[in-house]
Structure 1
Amino acid sequence: MPNSSRLIPQSPASVMVMRDVTPSITTLSLPFKRFGIIPIGGRATLVKLTSGGLVVFSPVALTEEVRAKVLAMGNDVRYIIAPDIEHHIFISEWKSAYPAAQLIGPAGLPEKRAKLVGEDLKISNDRFDHVFTSQNKGTFAITPEFDADFAYEFVDAHPNKELVFFFRPDRVLIEADLMFNLPATEQYSRVPGEDGKPGWMGWIFTKLQSTAGDAKGQKQFLWHLASRGDRPAFNESVRRIAEWDFETVIPCHGDVIQRNGKQVFEKVFEWHLKKEGDL
């Protein structure tokens, strides 16, 4: 039994929510439970570059409906991106379907996947074309067409080695685990019954990963846990991201934040954006 089997809905097509966030961006949202008990949802994002090529972030199951959407968007998948060391299960499936696409991910992920080859049937020994590292951070370039549309930051101080992308044409921030926006309402909107309702552990985690109100729980999570390994470097990354002029935030877990995404981001990362003397 492949290790990833317990992370994938038995029938992805029946529960997937496909939505056009902008004319160039489509989200593919699915139910997903962390540790099998905490409903945090999962999401892939399809982006059409101004050059016409397609980018997929955090790939999910390549259902017939998803293939049809890719076809409608031009069928030219040029980049497949794992935005951290956790969001990579469906990379091989997409690479097999679109072999000309370039694979992009953070340091540590190629090695992690190599160890899983033969143990997890979803994972093949795929070669990454571009790998973000602490050494090439700040000088890294992907391709001229990609870099014309995207700015990006490697938050290497985050435990999951987060890659965060800013799609300039639509003013959209795309990220994985840097910031959650629970509860995962859209991602569980097609799940019948009580399956999307959190138990007591899920209730606590949702409070810790919510952007509602003063977002005190998520602020504490980010300050005391996510950034504790190297808080100065984490702060520097967050401050660079905050310089981007985005208005929408597309997270992998929880609902998309539209119109006031920048304000929500600044609220959640308030402590990291302050100068040291102001803390």
Structure 2
Amino acid sequence: MPLSAVAENLWVTAQPLRFLGLEVGTRMTIVRLGSGDLVLISPVRLVEGDRPSLDRLGTVAHLVAPNLFHHMFMTQAQALYPQAKTWGVAGLAQKRPDLRLDGLVDRAGCLEEVLEYQPVDGFAALMPQGICLANETVFFHRPSRTLIVTDIAFNFDETSSLGMQLAARVLGSYQALRPTLMEKWGTRNKAEVEASLRKVLAWDFDRVILTHGSIVERDGKAALREGYEWFLGRSPS
């Protein structure tokens, strides 16, 4: 499994992933804490052959399902690292009763004063089956000033598949760090989202790692603020 170093003690790995017929891709973020323990945020599909790449970095101690959508590969991650603590979000136990959960990241907190996290309340998406709450929690790697998000924002660009580029243009999210019209139409309580975004924007981040789309290496806070002005119809801060 190829790992890309983003900053000191911070890596990502990407895999193909199709959603609604489009190649959206997916990305897992690996954070090494001060203890040497590793946190895997939004695990991709992992197999035994991936262990050496991860084990060279440290001990996989935490597996995180950061919202109600990104839990597809948690079972494989748990099988590979049964000793790791599995973190989920509110509602995941009901959605995945088969999945062992050891704790929740459903309120603001921090792991070893390195990795802070904050729920984004009220955020939802309009899916074919109806409106679906994401219950997403986002993360802030303080040492590298990096925000880590899953589905509260995307950044599709010329590196995306042609189909995804076209869809992103139609959905208003091409070459822009923001949600799509699916989330804009699906989110009913934008006041809750706005209150959460104020807390996120209070973090001193510059880089933004996304699960879908290209990483924003600089000026990420300004880009996210601008993206949410479009989403909310007003500035979140």
TM-score by length of 2: 0.84
Question: How do 1:89-104 and structure 2 match up within 5 A?
Answer: 89-104=72-87
Secondary structure, in 3 states, of the residue corresponding to 1:240?
Answer: helix
How far, CA to CA, are the matches of 2:48 and 2:180 in structure 1?
Answer: 41
Per the alignment, residue 71 of structure 1 pairs with 55
Residue in structure 2 matching 1:256, options 194, 206, 215? 215
Root mean square deviation of aligned Cα = 2.6
Per the alignment, residue 101 of structure 2 pairs with 128
Per the alignment, residue 119 of structure 2 pairs with 154
Residue in structure 2 matching 1:170, options 127, 144, 148? 144
Kindly state the Cα deviation for residue 247 of structure 1 after the two structures are TM-superposed: 1.1
How far, CA to CA, are the matches of 2:49 and 2:89 in structure 1?
Answer: 29
The 3 A distance-change label for structure 1 pair 219 and 103 is closer
Per the alignment, residue 171 of structure 2 pairs with 208
Cα deviation digits, residues 163-210 of structure 1 (max 9, x gap): 10001011111110000011382xx6xxxxxxx3317xx613355353
Cα deviation digits, residues 119-156 of structure 1 (max 9, x gap): xxxxxx332111244xxx35xx46xxx14112211113
Per the alignment, residue 18 of structure 2 pairs with 33
- 5+ residue gaps in structure 2? 125-133
Secondary structure, in 3 states, of the residue corresponding to 1:198?
Answer: helix
How far, CA to CA, are the matches of 2:173 and 2:184 in structure 1?
Answer: 16
Per the alignment, residue 61 of structure 1 pairs with 45
The 3 A distance-change label for structure 1 pair 65 and 211 is farther
Kindly state the Cα deviation for residue 63 of structure 1 after the two structures are TM-superposed: 3.7
Cα contact 2:12–2:27 (8 A) shared by 1:
yes
Structure 1 position 221 matched with structure 2 position 221:
no
> 1:156 is matched by which residue type in structure 2?
D
Identity of aligned residues (%): 30
Higher RCO (C-alpha 8 Å, min separation 6): 1
More helix by share: 1
How far, CA to CA, are the matches of 2:24 and 2:169 in structure 1?
Answer: 8
| Structure ID, larger Rg | 1
The 3 A distance-change label for structure 1 pair 64 and 255 is farther
Per the alignment, residue 18 of structure 1 pairs with 3
How far, CA to CA, are the matches of 1:242 and 1:205 in structure 2?
Answer: 24
Size of the alignment, in residue pairs? 226
- 5+ residue gaps in structure 1? 1-12, 115-124, 189-195
Residue in structure 2 matching 1:88, options 59, 71, 76? 71
The 3 A distance-change label for structure 1 pair 88 and 206 is farther
Cα contact 1:42–1:252 (8 A) shared by 2:
yes
How far, CA to CA, are the matches of 2:90 and 2:151 in structure 1?
Answer: 16
